[in-house]
């Protein structure tokens, strides 16, 4: 692999802002790497869309990012990871990593092959059984429970991380999981790490929380080394989140994205642009 290719950035896309937690995990684990992030904020949420629509959106996002020159793609959206990875891998000629497989495998590592594993996720992700399938592929003997927690997304985006209402909602959603007594709980939506403290206090200190973004970052690091793709260039000075080495794109509402990025990451992106990705593969050939 030539040096120039190694220095290309890693692409990340999500249906909106939740994937910023995946970006943070990747950034923290891979300080030598640069990132290009696309949030498809004009078409969020993906969870209510048909399979064909999710595949089309995911392909357009992937083609936009590959047109910018990336060496690897991380699909930070749980819905797209559940439904569109085969189509994405078929369409682009680089390695593609989703968030569900790494999260499921990490949960089995923590809980053990016959452990008790819980998944907290959005309604669409729970109904897809994507995490359940990933966990059972890693260990058919694991005991499993899932819970839908849809209001966690707006609570995270509003920054309601310690309000009494947030604890009350968490109690309602997670009471069944606490009664189940899991060894590990998968945070099956990229927004949920923002509410980590509330979730941990609700289910109990002995339950290990699995951040799918962190698990994905570990697997991306391993894949970069295995494929000889890791950047060897150390940045001058200490990297910070959202610095000018990373480029952020959204398909709508850039100002709101910047505000939520500040809430999630403590930083506003230095490079943030609004773009149109509909039919981008066609436009880029003109």
- The one catalytic residue in 20, 96, 189, 199 is 189
Distances (CA, A) of 10 to 23, 220, 267: 10, 10, 20
Whole-number Å distance between alpha carbons of 68 and 115: 43
Is the distance from CB of 195 to CB of 167 less than 8 angstroms? no
The rounded distance, in Å, linking the Cα atoms of 64 and 94 is: 14
Identify the residue whose tokens are 């709980």.
Answer: 185
Task: Dig out the tokens for 198 from the structure.
Answer: 């509330």
CB count within 10 Å of CB 140 equals 9
Instruction: Please say whether the beta carbons of 186 and 78 come within 8 A.
Output: no
Other C-beta atoms within 10 Å of 236: how many?
A: 6
What's 141's DSSP letter? T
Q: Which of 25, 38, 73, 77 is catalytic?
A: 77
* CA angle (132, 106, 112) in 5-degree steps: 85
Spell 196-224 as b/e; 16+ CB within 10 A means b.
Answer: eebbeebbeeebbbbbbbbbbbebbeeeb
User: Annotated catalytic, 242?
Assistant: no
Note if 149 is an active site residue: no
Catalytic positions: 77, 189
């Amino acid at each position: 692999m030539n040096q120039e290719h190694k220095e290309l950035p890693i692409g990340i896309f999500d249906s909106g802002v939740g994937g910023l937690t995946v970006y943070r995990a990747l950034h923290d684990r891979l300080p030598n790497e640069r990132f290009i992030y696309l949030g498809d904020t004009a078409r969020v949420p993906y969870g209510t869309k048909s399979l064909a629509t999710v595949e089309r959106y995911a392909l357009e996002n992937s083609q936009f990012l590959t047109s910018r020159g990336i060496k690897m793609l991380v699909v930070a959206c749980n819905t797209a990871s559940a439904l569109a990875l085969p189509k994405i891998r078929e369409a682009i000629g680089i390695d593609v990593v989703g968030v569900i497989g790494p999260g499921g495998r990490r949960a089995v590592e923590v809980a053990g092959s016959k452990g008790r594993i819980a998944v907290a996720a959005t309604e669409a992700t729970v109904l897809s059984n994507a995490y359940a399938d990933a966990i059972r592929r890693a260990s058919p003997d694991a005991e499993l429970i899932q819970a839908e927690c849809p209001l966690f997304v707006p609570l995270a985006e509003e920054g309601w991380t310690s309000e009494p209402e947030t604890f009350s909602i968490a109690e309602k959603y997670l009471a069944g999981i606490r009664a189940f007594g899991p060894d590990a709980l998968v945070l099956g939506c990229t927004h949920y790490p923002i509410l980590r403290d509330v979730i941990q206090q609700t289910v109990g200190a002995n339950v290990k929380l699995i951040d799918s973004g962190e698990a994905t970052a570990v697997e991306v690091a391993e894949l970069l080394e295995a494929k000889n793709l890791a950047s060897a260039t150390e940045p001058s000075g200490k990297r910070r989140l959202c610095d000018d080495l990373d480029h952020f794109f959204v398909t709508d509402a850039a100002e709101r994205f910047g505000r939520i990025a500040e809430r999630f990451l403590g930083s506003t992106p230095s490079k943030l642009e609004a773009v149109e990705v509909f039919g981008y593969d066609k436009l880029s050939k003109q």
